[in-house]
Structure 1
Amino acid sequence: MKKLLLYIFLSFTLISFSQQKLWKGYFSFNEITDVCVSENKVHSSTKYSVFNKDMSSNVLATFTSVNDVKSDEISAVFQTSNNHTLIGNKNGLIIIIKPDGTTLDKVDIITDVPVPANTKKVNDFYEHNGKVYVSTQYGISVIKLSNFEIESNFYIGNSGEFLDVLQTTVFNGEIYAVTRTQGIKKALLSNPFLYDFSQWSVFNTSAWLSIVTFNNQIVALGNDGFTYRFTGNVAQQFSVQSASGLKLRTDNTYLTITNLFQIVVYNQSFSLVNIVNQIPNFSDSFTCAITKNEKLYIGTTRNGLFETNVANPTVFNSISPNGPIEDYAFKVTKTTTDLWLTHGNYDRTYTPNYKLQGISVYDTNLGWEKIPIAEVQNALSLAAIVQNPRNLTEVFVASGHSGLLKYTNQANPILFNETNFLESQQLVPNFISVRINGMKYDKDGNLWLTNALVDNAIKVLRNNNTWQSYNLNNIIQNPRGVHYGNIDIDKNNTKWIASYARGVIAFNEKFNNKYIIINEENGNLPSNDVRCVAIDNRNQLWIGTFKGLRILNNIDSFITENELSTTNIVIQEGDLAQELFNQQVIQDIKVDGSNNKWVSIADAGVFLVSPNGQTTLRRFTKENSPLPSNNVFDIEIDEVSGEVFFATDKGLVSYLGSSTKGSENLEAVYAYPNPVRPGYSGTVKISGLMDKVNLKITDIEGNLVFETTSSGGTVEWDTTAFGKYKVASGVYMVFVTSSDASETTVKKIMVVR
């Protein structure tokens, strides 16, 4: 990917983590990757988050990108004796959560270990005598607990090569390491030359998966499905056999063996205590397990962490925090009352991933609810979502392979497919694929959508519940080979449709089915692969393509013209002129209440630009904000609150913006925070405004300290007198007048310094 433009880096303001109160995380805690215990807590990790439960108070604490745990992909979690949480990642990153909740990123493995980047995974942590032994894909790294610095690295292959070490333990003054390909190796822990591979000997040449010290013996899980205890060098098998062994864990009271479909617990006499083959009502596989205080904690692949009694594992309590089905967030939509999230996917060419998955729905009062797989009519690759504006109980969900789902009150799903009004692609004989993507309601309450790979590519569900199709054979070449992106509809009822390899298709049935194609050849597009379109508040069409941005300056020109041409946006930085988002892959564009544009760039985060695109107001990346990933698939804006949602491949987060849609009157104007308390460094937001109101703020004596005209429904005040100095403690009056002076209101703000 080409480098982002210089002006972008010059013009945006970094968002410090002191502002994280503006961010929220909506993460899943279902896909457990590891579990460990400390004296009073059980700690667990998912791919992109960590949480713990206090065993005495039952209080749950979560750690995500919103509080600086920005993982690559978490592979191991460990609680040290000095109450630090170590989080190991697939790329070698180690994140340390300190007892006060602050974090520290250790990048030594990433930057200093001379092995390929894809061979630095952290497999396990083991603590002994003030040091933590980190098992990795290349060997063993030793971290000192006193300062968390890496003391040394051991490369213990037979010839000194890098060797995948799965787990370590210490017994009788020797360190034992289970390796993926060279059996179990050991060395004298007091040997000052452990960095020398020749100081390590082979303890056992068989294939092993895991190793612990339990009841004063070495215990190892074999690749043959059995677990063995060692007397000297002699291995004695004692466990039941189970395929797909994963790992051993012990709290020194019990030994827990985790297999893919079985958890086995033994006591210190190596007598079988219990076997768990399934958690009732959950069809799932296991990932990890451990015991503590007579409780058994089991991590699963899709349903989170469960707690049960070691002696009587009949009742299983889910102790994962509430969250969506999974972290892979593909499309997000804010309805009137809820937030809907789908987890499907398609690639650049709109080829679906054929994934069967439920839908996650967030209710402010109830939290996350799930529409399970059983209630999606076997529809695959669920993507775009839209609410019926004339019947708020109805929500439609597009499938990239199976058609269109209609829900009423989040239930009673109806699937529209090739058997009822929609059409299947006809490129491959006997292969049924009904590919629905872009959806948009027009002002008359008709639902427009695209049906890819068929002649009748434009469909509409009329407000009287009848269907109609429009044939594109005479509009674009070979419509049976075309996929489509999103749709936006303007005030004239013209449909603007993004397409893969055909540019933008503009269509209006009210003008004798008129259409215009905007592409590279006749519309000045940088690419015919159009990823998204968005109409702003000034009747401009913003077009995001695979190779940059273009603007159609007046959508009304569709009515009078037969050809339309777009322009780029040129930014002047001193003597340097640059094209906005030149050659960048634009994945989504959303327009907020102030006509600012939120733009997501593939692998480069999100930009907020001014209405004309000349100024970058914000830039959010994984590096400077709580975004968990720079790959933002979808952006959604709550027009009432100003909250902006970012759906990424590593989770859903939101930023509380200040641009909201203008209200119809001034009855619900309010200011927050109010009062402004000592130490608060943010802005005061006055919301519930009509668009283009005149707003003045004065002190109690009538001295003017701030004045502006609103754009949208919210205005921000930095609590200064025209930006010169912070105002003193006191009561400040907010006078609001509509643009036609027909409505007025007065509010008060208390400032306490």
Structure 2
Amino acid sequence: MACGSTAQAQVGTWKDYMAYYDVQDVKKGGSVLYVLASDNLYSYNEGDGSIQTYDKVNGLSDCGIAKIEWNRSVGKLIIVYSDYNIDMLDAKGNITNLSDFYSATISGDKTVNNIYMSGRFAYLSTGFGIVKVNMRDNEISDTYNLKFRVDYCYIDGNYIYAASSTNGLYRAALSDNLLDPGKWSRVGAYTPRSYTVDADLLATARSHRPDGPKANNFYSMKFKYGNLYTVGGRYNQTGDSQMPGTVQVLNPEDGEWTVYEDSIQDKSGHSYIDALCIDVDPTDHSHVMVGARTGLYEFRNGRYVRDWYCQNSDLQQAVGGSVNYTLVTSGAFDGSGNFWFANSQSTSQSLWEYTAGGKMVSHHKDQYMDTDHKFSFAHVHSMMFDKDNLLWFVSDYWATPYLVCYQPSTDATNVYKNYVNEDGTAVTVGGGARCVAEDLNGNIWVGTNAGPLFINAEDKTLSPDKMVFQQYKVPRNDGTNLADYLLSGVDVMCMAVDGGNRKWFGTNGNGVYLISADNNTQIHHFLSTNSGLLSDNVQSIAINPKTGEVFFGTDNGLCSYMSDATATVDKMDKNNTYAYPNPVKPGYNGPITITGLSYNADVKIVTSNGTLVAQGRSNGGSFVWYGTDLDGKRVASGVYMVMTTTESGDKGTVCKIVVVN
């Protein structure tokens, strides 16, 4: 029996899931429309009707596009990013990066306010002056530091003009030394110029948008029952900035997005902003609960059902907040379909249960109060049930960086306020306890601004005065018998555990770490500069256990990495176990993944006459082979047998991989 699929993404590949909903600008280059939408770029060819998206995976140097402009003289599009990086895109799809402006140290604001084309040159009006770019040769020609904001510039006759909303209208003769600010003179007052996109181009662009999410906001995510469920959260997680309530669900099988009903203010009677948490009812997958800055929301089949906030229920608004500040910051369903959630920063409420029977039950405890500020724990995050039906959550707040364990069956609770490691050293958690997760061994991991800590499975019900938190010691292996704490000092914002019991840590400003199951090896450290990661600020992580695809919600949007670990299966058979790509076509030298394996399965790959060419143990439910023999040489064309055995020695399935050189 041959086994395999060619459609699944290959191990080690990246993918972006960018939004193209909000069309911001359209530039026409011949028969192609280049569209800036939701700070991302796509093109629509009016001739053949094709749509092409552009992102970091297929060649762009950055993300978060601020401006685009087409140069007819050289047939190129200039792309200016919000961080001042610059790309050039020609009509054939070739992309060239100009990083000089991005890396240049310039006194003044580098924000590009406008782009003006003249011949082969693009003139960028910035917060400090004008940057002249030679688009034919892909280089910056000159920088005119005028030491004032330039809103737009233009050439008229023998003069170049710089219009400044702060300083007025300046000009200089093109024959002068434009690098000398003294050659520029004020010739009038500033006249604002408005820019509107051509209505016909705008309509065409909107009717030919690529598929994708509605917004690039992925504050919190969960992969449940074959789908990725996401909420938008707080914009940049700072201050009182508001984000319209957003629930976006991805079906990875067909790549389709479902956006939940979001214009519900008229139905609810109050604002719906800053969706912060989401979970799916295990007894009814159409039933979804969402917590937000403005209360608790119930959805069925993506449609709004009802909500609870401080004026229509016993939920309380946050201390000092308005009606639209009923904080439901984290929540989770238990196995019976009861939804548990936090009502944060209120005077006498904290933990609630919305039962499967439709009742609201308070489980408030005095231990859940911040006595200094006189409100319940702030910024509650990562609420989850472990394998023993214990409810865990953290307070991601500098004043109360606490870990909480609640036992629904007994109504008992433990609040861990002090983090003392196995060496008797107090771990200073000043920024907050960011997240909590359970590994496959039942250990409870806590992400903090001081790095990850964990509680051994057998200790997790210990009282706070007896609890010892583990900081895993990674041996240096340099002959000194010394060790270092795992990711000590790294601000861990989120984490997930894959099918191989490996830990994925998302950080604040330091990208993503993948740590081995035994915690001794750093397998990957992905940064935006060395991988397809969109940003080094990672807000959420979720994993598709079937395929091993790891999703990263960043402050620049959603991306994913196809890892080499999937969830294990109980039985290896022809329905579960397969390889991809299969057949392996000529010229392909990438990974060949066998998936659908049991935990720690023994895998042997042999020729048709029984010669062993590769062997090893499964990583979770997967095993990766690169088409080489035991000496590292490329195997010959032929049919290769995959033979598996369970950890206990029972024979698993046998399938075939066809290799064509």
Query: Which of 407, 418, 421 is matched with 1:508 structurally?
Result: 407
Cα contact 2:318–2:326 (8 A) shared by 1: no
- The corresponding residue for 1:93 is 85
Q: Does 1:703 align with 2:611?
A: yes
Structure 1 CA distance for aligned equivalents of residues 102 and 69 of structure 2: 19
TM-score normalised according to structure 1 size = 0.77
Deviation at 1:151, TM superposition (A): 1.9
Deviation at 1:397, TM superposition (A): 1.3
Q: Does 1:151 align with 2:49?
A: no
Local SS of the residue matching 2:204? strand
Deviation at 1:120, TM superposition (A): 0.8
- The corresponding residue for 1:361 is 249
Q: Does 1:480 align with 2:375?
A: yes
- The corresponding residue for 1:132 is 122
Local SS of the residue matching 2:103? helix
Q: Does 1:207 align with 2:190?
A: yes
Cα deviation 1:314-357 (Å, max 9, x = unaligned): xxx53332322222321223332433322221887x97644333
Q: Which amino acid aligns with 1:498?
A: V
Structure 1 CA distance for aligned equivalents of residues 263 and 525 of structure 2: 40
Deviation at 1:170, TM superposition (A): 3.1
Classify 1:197/1:476 alpha carbon distance in 2 versus 1 (closer, same or farther; 3 Å): closer
Cα contact 2:564–2:619 (8 A) shared by 1: no
Structure 2 CA distance for aligned equivalents of residues 442 and 481 of structure 1: 22
Structure 2 CA distance for aligned equivalents of residues 54 and 166 of structure 1: 32
Cα deviation 1:683-730 (Å, max 9, x = unaligned): 111112232322211111111122223242222112222463232222
Structure 2 CA distance for aligned equivalents of residues 610 and 65 of structure 1: 27
Q: Which amino acid aligns with 2:126?
A: T
Structure 2 CA distance for aligned equivalents of residues 365 and 19 of structure 1: 17
Task: Tell me the matched-pair count.
Answer: 630
Classify 1:366/1:497 alpha carbon distance in 2 versus 1 (closer, same or farther; 3 Å): closer
Cα contact 1:669–1:689 (8 A) shared by 2: yes
Query: Which of 196, 200, 204 is matched with 1:307 structurally?
Result: 204
Which stretch shows the higher mean deviation, 49-58 or 169-178? 169-178
Classify 1:297/1:61 alpha carbon distance in 2 versus 1 (closer, same or farther; 3 Å): same
- The corresponding residue for 1:255 is none
- The corresponding residue for 1:582 is 488
Structure 2 CA distance for aligned equivalents of residues 429 and 108 of structure 1: 46
Structure 2 CA distance for aligned equivalents of residues 746 and 87 of structure 1: 52
Local SS of the residue matching 2:542? strand
Query: Which of 178, 196, 208 is matched with 1:194 structurally?
Result: 178
Query: Which of 383, 387, 394 is matched with 1:491 structurally?
Result: 387
Deviation at 1:449, TM superposition (A): 2.3
Classify 1:687/1:619 alpha carbon distance in 2 versus 1 (closer, same or farther; 3 Å): same
Query: Which of 450, 454, 457 is matched with 1:554 structurally?
Result: 457
Query: Which of 479, 502, 505 is matched with 1:599 structurally?
Result: 505
Structure 2 CA distance for aligned equivalents of residues 354 and 164 of structure 1: 29
- The corresponding residue for 1:468 is 361
Q: Which amino acid aligns with 1:492?
A: D
Q: Does 1:571 align with 2:474?
A: yes
- The corresponding residue for 1:411 is 303
- The corresponding residue for 1:296 is 200
- The corresponding residue for 1:681 is 589
- The corresponding residue for 1:341 is 230
Local SS of the residue matching 1:66? coil
Deviation at 1:60, TM superposition (A): 1.4
Deviation at 1:106, TM superposition (A): 1.4
Cα deviation 1:364-397 (Å, max 9, x = unaligned): 5472332243247443210211111221111111
Classify 1:522/1:362 alpha carbon distance in 2 versus 1 (closer, same or farther; 3 Å): closer
Structure 2 CA distance for aligned equivalents of residues 735 and 486 of structure 1: 40
- The corresponding residue for 1:303 is none
Classify 1:198/1:123 alpha carbon distance in 2 versus 1 (closer, same or farther; 3 Å): same
Classify 1:502/1:179 alpha carbon distance in 2 versus 1 (closer, same or farther; 3 Å): closer
Deviation at 1:552, TM superposition (A): 1.0
Cα deviation 1:232-270 (Å, max 9, x = unaligned): xxxxxxxxxxxxxx32xxxxxxxxxx2xxxxxxxxxxxx
Structure 2 CA distance for aligned equivalents of residues 347 and 452 of structure 1: 20
Structure 2 CA distance for aligned equivalents of residues 412 and 691 of structure 1: 41
Classify 1:457/1:200 alpha carbon distance in 2 versus 1 (closer, same or farther; 3 Å): closer
Classify 1:329/1:521 alpha carbon distance in 2 versus 1 (closer, same or farther; 3 Å): closer
- The corresponding residue for 2:95 is 103
Superposed CA RMSD in Å reads 2.9
Classify 1:366/1:188 alpha carbon distance in 2 versus 1 (closer, same or farther; 3 Å): same
- The corresponding residue for 2:104 is 112
Structure 2 CA distance for aligned equivalents of residues 123 and 487 of structure 1: 43
Query: Which of 39, 42, 45 is matched with 1:51 structurally?
Result: 42
Cα contact 2:12–2:563 (8 A) shared by 1: no
Matches within 5 A, 1:385-534: 385-399=278-292, 401-418=293-310, 423-425=315-317, 427-428=319-320, 431=323, 433-454=325-346, 455-474=348-367, 478=371, 480-483=375-378, 484-499=380-395, 500=397, 501-510=400-409, 512-520=410-418, 524-527=426-429, 529-534=432-437
Structure 1 CA distance for aligned equivalents of residues 233 and 302 of structure 2: 18
Q: Does 1:752 align with 2:640?
A: no
Classify 1:503/1:154 alpha carbon distance in 2 versus 1 (closer, same or farther; 3 Å): same
Classify 1:389/1:70 alpha carbon distance in 2 versus 1 (closer, same or farther; 3 Å): farther
Which stretch shows the higher mean deviation, 590-599 or 735-744? 735-744
Local SS of the residue matching 2:248? strand
Q: Does 1:181 align with 2:169?
A: no
Structure 1 CA distance for aligned equivalents of residues 273 and 185 of structure 2: 52
Which runs of 5 or more residues in structure 1 are unaligned?
1-17, 156-160, 210-220, 222-245, 248-257, 259-288, 299-305, 309-316
Cα contact 1:49–1:69 (8 A) shared by 2: no
Return the structure number with greater relative CO, CA threshold 8 A, min gap 6: 2
Deviation at 1:594, TM superposition (A): 0.7
Classify 1:668/1:680 alpha carbon distance in 2 versus 1 (closer, same or farther; 3 Å): same
Structure 2 CA distance for aligned equivalents of residues 421 and 561 of structure 1: 33
Query: Which of 519, 527, 535 is matched with 1:613 structurally?
Result: 519
Classify 1:425/1:737 alpha carbon distance in 2 versus 1 (closer, same or farther; 3 Å): same
Classify 1:730/1:421 alpha carbon distance in 2 versus 1 (closer, same or farther; 3 Å): farther
Cα deviation 1:142-173 (Å, max 9, x = unaligned): 22234222222223xxxxx4232233333334
Local SS of the residue matching 1:164? coil
Which runs of 5 or more residues in structure 2 are unaligned?
1-8
Classify 1:722/1:20 alpha carbon distance in 2 versus 1 (closer, same or farther; 3 Å): closer
Cα contact 2:19–2:215 (8 A) shared by 1: yes
Query: Which of 216, 219, 224 is matched with 1:330 structurally?
Result: 219
Q: Give percent identity, aligned residues only.
A: 24
Structure 2 CA distance for aligned equivalents of residues 372 and 52 of structure 1: 28
- The corresponding residue for 1:61 is 52
Deviation at 1:40, TM superposition (A): 1.5
Structure 1 CA distance for aligned equivalents of residues 41 and 593 of structure 2: 33
- The corresponding residue for 2:5 is none
Local SS of the residue matching 2:375? helix
Structure 2 CA distance for aligned equivalents of residues 492 and 359 of structure 1: 30
Structure 1 CA distance for aligned equivalents of residues 561 and 393 of structure 2: 28
Query: Which of 640, 649, 661 is matched with 2:546 structurally?
Result: 640
